Amino acid sequence: MHSERAPRWLKIAAGAGLAFMHLPILLIFVYAFTTEEKSYQWPPPGFTLKWFAVTWNRPDVWQALSLSLRVAAVSTAVALVLGTLCAAAVSRTRFFGREVISLMVILPIALPGIITGIALRSAFSLADIPFSFWTIVLGHATFCVVVVYNNAVARFRRISGSLIEASMDLGADGFQTFRYVILPNIATALLAGGMLAFALSFDEVIVTTFTAGQQQTLPIWMLEELVRPRQRPVTNVVAMVVVIVTFLPILGAYYLTRGTESVAGQGK
Amino acid sequence: MTPAVRFAGVSRHFGPVRAVDNVNMEIAEGEFFAMLGPSGSGKTTCLRLIGGFDQPTAGKIEIFGVPTAGVPPYRRHVNTVFQDYALFPHLNVRDNVAYGLMVAGRPKPERYRAAEEALEMVALPGYGLRKPSELSGGQRQRVALARALVNRPRVLLLDEPLGALDLKLREAMQEELKALQRRLGITFVFVTHDQTEALSMADRVAVFNEGRIVQVGTPQDIYYRPRVPFVARFVGSSNVLPPEVTERVAGRHVHAAVRPEALRLGAEGLAATVLSTAFHGAATRVALEAEGGLRLVALLPKGVEVPQEGACVHVTWAREDLHLMTEAGA
């Protein structure tokens, strides 16, 4: 490792870059406490905690939050099951078209959300499927599966194939092998993938606008709220909550996958 | 007596590749059986067929008289020591060894006691709480052995279990494995590409080449009486005389084998040039080229005069040391 000290200008530039990325978020937090409710005025004319109480008492916030949490939870669950199965198939077996399937699974995350959204909306209307909780989940699952799949497939590749054979050899059937050998070895990858998927789903806007109909998830509620000129700081209070709710799982995923590089590759 | 394992016309083809091609063999109960051959000769595939990890394309395999078609690995009374050991990295040594008993639903005290006994058997008592990553290669190998034996298999399959160990450890493990097999009386089926390993450990050896068994027999049979030139060359690097030369020296138009240690340098016999000499401690290895480009190797014991490189010598041997191979084949 290079341990020379960086020149001062480089430190300043790095600091400025980080500040540029993160100071605006602080600004959001500050506006959650402002006494001015119609426009974002700087500096804030005064500070108050009343917006927390106002937010607490608004049923539309609770509805949106609950919808978002439910959608994120179900999408993550769907993604965990499908992503793991798909990763197992692609990494453990060889079949015709394997690479194509691998590519097609990853594609939704590379596609602009707006295209995924339009495509899903057209498909729903063509099939006469009314918008519902499940259409949102479906939209979110398209990219949540990718995140879980990517995490799981990397881990699956590191599990030596003979581990599974050894388990079978010692008398474990397919289910026991999954339960006692595969799952413990991919658990952290699944947890990390699941948390990332949850965070992605929780703050998704674009695909949701096309698949939600009249329902409002939290990010969509915030978008609508911004155009309304009253009780603006309520949006900021909610924004704080969103930052915290999405930040914690991502932090958790980071810590969980950090120390597990050598989990499954040894014994060679 | 019913053989422990019986192969009847077994083939395993991967597309056009005949990994195993019409193999017939019987492995007796309590036998230490080695499958010897170069890589790609089909020996490991045969082991996997016994273990149930692969299915034959043709023929049938019986384990103690019971046909194995459609029987998954977890219902066969056969356990395997894998080449890479395949220890479960997330479990400690005790749970690794007790795995088979755990999935069989045995209570914890029983399986921990059995695991500790098995670890004692492989000279690793008290290692139960370590992780596989904390063990050396030789120790992992023993854990893999204990894990397979704790289930009291009727046949133990070993896939080049000593391949990853250094020479000294390998020799020590050869003796231990042999002693363990004698003590337990379990049928061992051992795959290796190392002929000295096969010859020193096994009761019987099957030599594989290109998916077929070319010879089965005791180590002495294989070593002194190879039936085809491949066995003579592969096992202990015998000198193989082509039919023309054999005809001249022994009057039969067949391949013949003569061991390097049986060659003498004298005043008459086959004329040859010394290519190189190498001192091997107990013996000196002399590489020779006879007429027609025939390469020969002689091992001269201590006390015999070693010729100069480039010298013209005559090679001879006792009549009984020339082994005629009456079968055709490569």
Binary contact (B103, A171; C-beta < 8 A)? yes
Buried b (16+ CB within 10 A) or exposed e, B138-174: bbbbbbbbbbbbbbebebbbbbbbbebbeeeebeebb
d(CA A53, CA B6): 80
Whether B35 is covered by a domain: the verdict is: yes
The reply to whether B269 and B153 lie within a common domain is: no
Whether A123 is covered by a domain: the verdict is: yes
The reply to whether B123 and B43 lie within a common domain is: yes
pLDDT at A77 (0 to 100):
95
Local structure of residue B214 (DSSP, 8 states): E
Please identify which residue in the block is written with the tokens 């949106």: A64
Helix (H, G, I), strand (E, B) or coil at A150: helix
Instruction: Give the mean model confidence (pLDDT) for residues B205-213.
Output: 93
Whether A31 is covered by a domain: the verdict is: no
The reply to whether B203 and B248 lie within a common domain is: no
pLDDT at B89 (0 to 100):
92
> How far is CA B121 from its chain centroid?
24
- List, in sequence order, the alpha helices (H) in chain A: 8-31, 50-56, 59-92, 98-110, 113-126, 133-158, 161-169, 174-177, 183-202, 206-211, 218-227, 233-258
Contact B3, B29 (CB under 8 A): yes
Instruction: Give the mean model confidence (pLDDT) for residues A193-211.
Output: 89
What total number of domains does chain A contain?
1
Whether A150 is covered by a domain: the verdict is: yes
Higher pLDDT, B200 or A93: B200
Binary contact (B90, A176; C-beta < 8 A)? no
Highest-scoring range by mean pLDDT, A45-54, A154-163, B208-217, B321-330: B208-217
Binary contact (A162, B82; C-beta < 8 A)? yes
Whether A77 is covered by a domain: the verdict is: yes
Helix H or strand E encompassing B183: helix B167-184
B89 vs chain A: nearest CA distance in angstroms? 6
Instruction: Give the pLDDT band (50/70/90) at residue B327.
Output: low
Whether B238 is covered by a domain: the verdict is: no
Global ipTM: 0.81
Whether B110 is covered by a domain: the verdict is: yes
d(CA B295, CA B241): 9
Token code pair at residue B312 = 């013209």
Binary contact (A170, B53; C-beta < 8 A)? no
Whether A3 is covered by a domain: the verdict is: no
Whether A19 is covered by a domain: the verdict is: no
pLDDT at A266 (0 to 100):
36
| Numbered residues of chain A with Cβ closer than 8 Å to any chain B Cβ | 160, 162-163, 165-173, 176, 180-181, 184-185, 262-268
Which residues, including other chains, have CB under 8 Å from residue A165's CB and lie 6 or more apart? B51, B53, B73, B80, B82, B86
Binary contact (B72, A173; C-beta < 8 A)? yes
Helix (H, G, I), strand (E, B) or coil at B204: strand
The reply to whether B138 and B266 lie within a common domain is: no
pLDDT at A3 (0 to 100):
56
Query: Which runs of E-coded beta strand occur in B160-245?
Result: 187-192, 204-209, 212-217, 239-241
Whether B31 is covered by a domain: the verdict is: yes
Higher pLDDT, A116 or B268: A116
Out of B207, B231, B255, a domain closes at: B231
Q: Out of A1-15, B47-61, B151-165, B284-298, which region has the weakest mean confidence (pLDDT)?
A: A1-15
The reply to whether B207 and B150 lie within a common domain is: yes
Buried b (16+ CB within 10 A) or exposed e, B176-193: ebbebbeeeebbbbbbbb
Instruction: Give the pLDDT band (50/70/90) at residue B117.
Output: very high
Instruction: Give the mean model confidence (pLDDT) for residues B275-290.
Output: 88
Instruction: Give the mean model confidence (pLDDT) for residues B234-253.
Output: 82
Contact B312, B273 (CB under 8 A): yes
Q: Which domain covers residue B168, as residue numbers?
A: 5-231
The reply to whether B65 and B44 lie within a common domain is: yes
- Give the number of A-B residue pairs with CB atoms closer than 8 Å: 80
Per residue in A30-72, pLDDT (tens digit) is: 888 888 777 777 777 788 888 888 888 888 888 998 999 999 9
The reply to whether B252 and B226 lie within a common domain is: no
C-alpha closest to that of B255 among B236, B229, B290, B237: B229
Minimum Cα–Cα distance from B85: chain A residue: A267
Kindly tell me if the per-residue pLDDT of B151 is higher than 60. Answer: yes
Whether A119 is covered by a domain: the verdict is: yes
Out of B231, B254, B276, a domain closes at: B231
Whether B52 is covered by a domain: the verdict is: yes
Whether B39 is covered by a domain: the verdict is: yes
Q: Out of A46-50, A78-82, B67-71, which region has the weakest mean confidence (pLDDT)?
A: A46-50
DSSP letters of A58-121? -HHHHHHHHHHHHHHHHHHHHHHHHHHHHHHHHHH---TTHHHHHHHHHHHHHS-HHHHHHHHH
Which residues, including other chains, have CB under 8 Å from residue A181's CB and lie 6 or more apart? A163, A164, A167, A172, B88
Contacts of B99 in chain A (CB under 8 A): 167, 170, 172, 180
Kindly tell me if the per-residue pLDDT of B46 is higher than 50. Answer: yes
To 10 degrees, the CA torsion angle through A73, A79, A85, A90?
A: -160
pLDDT at B29 (0 to 100):
93
Whether A245 is covered by a domain: the verdict is: yes
> How far is CA B205 from its chain centroid?
7
Contacts of A180 in chain B (CB under 8 A): 99, 102-103
Minimum Cα–Cα distance from A166: chain B residue: B86
Contacts of B131 in chain A (CB under 8 A): none
Q: Nearest 5°: phi and psi at A219? A: -60, -35
Binary contact (B148, A167; C-beta < 8 A)? no
The reply to whether B131 and B172 lie within a common domain is: yes
Per residue in A156-171, pLDDT (tens digit) is: 888 878 899 999 999 9
The reply to whether B11 and B128 lie within a common domain is: yes
Binary contact (B99, A162; C-beta < 8 A)? no
Per residue in A118-171, pLDDT (tens digit) is: 999 999 999 998 888 999 999 999 889 999 999 999 888 888 788 999 999 999
CATH number where B154 lies: 3.40.50.300
Token code pair at residue B170 = 């390998």
What is the percentage of chain A residues whose pLDDT exceeds 90? 31
Sheet with B255-258, side-by-side order of all strands:
B239-241, B255-258, B323-325
Instruction: Give the mean model confidence (pLDDT) for residues B153-159.
Output: 93
Minimum Cα–Cα distance from A175: chain B residue: B103
C-alpha atoms less than 13 angstroms from C-alpha of A95 in its C-beta half-sphere: 11
Higher pLDDT, B45 or B292: B45
Q: Would you call B242 exposed, middle or buried from its count of C-beta atoms within 10 A (0-12, 13-18, 19+)? A: middle
Going from the C-alpha of A49 to that of each of A32, A37, A46, A55, B104, the distances in angstroms are 8, 13, 11, 11, 61
CATH number where B281 lies: 2.40.50.140
C-alpha closest to that of B142 among B94, B207, B85: B85
Q: Which domain covers residue A227, as residue numbers?
A: 58-258
d(CA A220, CA A208): 8
What is the percentage of chain A residues whose pLDDT exceeds 70? 94
Instruction: Give the pLDDT band (50/70/90) at residue B4.
Output: very high
Contacts of A181 in chain B (CB under 8 A): 88
Binary contact (B87, A267; C-beta < 8 A)? yes
Handedness of CA B79, B194, B258, B283 (dihedral sign): negative
What total number of domains does chain B contain?
2
Out of B176, B200, B231, a domain closes at: B231
Whether B239 is covered by a domain: the verdict is: no
Residue at B102: amino acid letter: M
Helix (H, G, I), strand (E, B) or coil at B143: helix
Kindly tell me if the per-residue pLDDT of A262 is higher than 70. Answer: no
Instruction: Give the mean model confidence (pLDDT) for residues B99-106.
Output: 93
CATH number where A172 lies: 1.10.3720.10
Q: Is B276 left (phi over 0), alpha (psi -120 to 50) or beta?
A: beta
The average confidence (pLDDT) of chain B is 89
Minimum Cα–Cα distance from B78: chain A residue: A169
